[in-house]
Amino acid sequence: MEISDVAKQSGIPASTLRYYEERGLIRSTGRRGLRRLFDTDVLERLGLISLGRAAGFKLDEIAAMMSPDGPRIERAALIAKADELDKKIRQMTIMRDGLHHAAKCRAPSHMECPTFRRILRAAMKGNPGGMIARKG
**Residues of the shown chain interacting with DNA in the complex, contacts defined by CB under 7 A:** 2-4, 13-16, 18-19, 32-36, 53, 57-60, 134
Site string for a copy of itself, 55-94 (x = CB under 8 A): xx--------xxxxxx--x-x--xx-xx--xx-xx-xxxx
Number of residues that this document lists for the chain: 136
β-sheet bridge partners, residue 31: 36
Q: How many helices (H) and strands (E) does the chain have?
A: 6, 2
Rounded to a whole number of angstroms, the minimum distance from the CB of residue 124 to DNA is 17
Question: Got the DSSP string for 19-30?
Answer: HHHHTTSS---E
- Cβ contact 37:31 at 8 Å: yes
Binding site for a copy of itself (CB under 8 A): 8-12, 44-48, 50-56, 65-70, 73, 75, 78-79, 81-82, 85-86, 88-89, 91-96, 98-100, 102-104, 108-111, 117, 120, 123-124, 127, 129-134
